[in-house]
Amino acid sequence: MKTMRSIFAIVVVLALCVTAGLAVIGQAENNNTEDFHVQSAADSEQALSIPEIAQVGRSSVVAIETETKVVYNNNYYNSPFDSLFGYGFGFGSPYGYGSPYGNGRDSSYTKKAAGSGVIISEDGYILTNNHVISGADSITVYVQNQGSNEETTYEATLVGASESHDVAVLKIEATGLTPVVFGNSDDLVIGEPAIVIGNPMGTVHGSVTSGIISATEHEMTIDESTVNAIMTDASINPGNSGGGLFDQYGHMVGLVYAKSVSVQLEGIGYAIPSNDVVEYVENIINHRDTYEAQTNGSKIMLGITITDVTEAIAAQYSMPIGVYITDVSSMSAAERAGLQRGDIIVGFAGEKVTCADDLNAIKAKQTPGDVVDIVIDRNGNEMTLKLVVPQPTDVELTKPETNRNDR
């Protein structure tokens, strides 16, 4: 059974987890009097070579580093090495809550992480994934100077973010930058060239990898939100999140946000289509209040990334039909309940769960603070866990605050 689960895990693609709760709260107010629009591609342009695309794209893709102060109780251990923008390099306590190895006092550490972003305006607007900067107390951006390998360092502030769409807009005080040119992701053809530029492992600024467009509408469920993603076999690694996926004309056609964690599937990665990104970005910058009033809503977030175990998959791998957990967010309601990556949810609050839609519908009926049963299959053994239904969170745009240290 464990072998079958390992095989299944190979084909499961992890999104970079969207952490439970509010998206990062920024500090920069938008005082523009004119509407902002991203730079779009012309109708007809000549295809470029990979070196030409790299030269164009690297000046528009930035490296990002963040620092986050993490406060925890010593009755629960959470490693300061637990993530590099959503990829799990850390180790949770094998003893869980109430560990005899903790002293029960609050402690803290500074967690550092690294990722990527893309310049979308000459005056310093930068697009990235929300999970890249979520919870950060400081955000540093490295911009490559034109015509050289040197970089200029800037401190960035958050303009706004959409957690459920995993996009965020930053602002640095700079002028004369080179913004990306957005291509039409609807025109992508499976098999055409694809180039990824970013900051893999947080150490190789402006790294370039190439491949093809493998699929254009791959449905994925990220922290209970479903998105249609672009798939590519251009190598994507931790730290590439928030970087650009470029087409053969040097136009950005996707915002990189996920990859396979399997060695066997190394290089298979995903991006948010540029046509979707444009709408979110322009609304974040131009219409914060209006957009927030129209789309902002409360949602109970368990803090899990999931994918369906369909009848075909269940039959092939001798697994129950349900919802397979590919990741659990740190300190989330799911983690506190004891849910783990690899668990299959088959029941929630007394109702049967066969797919993500079932889970979302049942979850929406719950009252925050209630304790509900979650029935899971773990390594072939069915078990029931108790979960405290968390308070609903606003998962769309977040408003800046002047003080982010009182969270």
Cα separation, 118 vs 169, in Å, equals: 10
131, 165, 205, 251: the catalytic one is 131
Cα separation, 203 vs 312, in Å, equals: 41
Establish whether 131 is a catalytic residue. Answer: yes
Cα separation, 359 vs 347, in Å, equals: 8
The answer to whether 299 and 399 are in contact (CB under 8 A) is: no
Establish whether 373 is a catalytic residue. Answer: no
Task: Kindly list the distances between the CA atom of residue 388 and the CA atoms of 22, 353, 392, in Å, as whole numbers in the listed order.
Answer: 18, 18, 12
Beta-sheet strands, E only, within 47-190:
61-73, 106-119, 125-128, 138-144, 151-162, 167-171
DSSP-based three-state secondary structure for 386: strand
The answer to whether 62 and 139 are in contact (CB under 8 A) is: no
116, 241, 260, 332: the catalytic one is 241
DSSP-based three-state secondary structure for 397: strand
Cα separation, 65 vs 170, in Å, equals: 13
Establish whether 241 is a catalytic residue. Answer: yes
Cα separation, 207 vs 237, in Å, equals: 11
Which tokens go with 270? 């995903």
Distance between alpha carbon 303 and the CA centroid of its chain, in Å? Answer: 12
121, 166, 214, 332: the catalytic one is 166
**Could you give the residue numbers annotated as active site?**
131, 166, 241
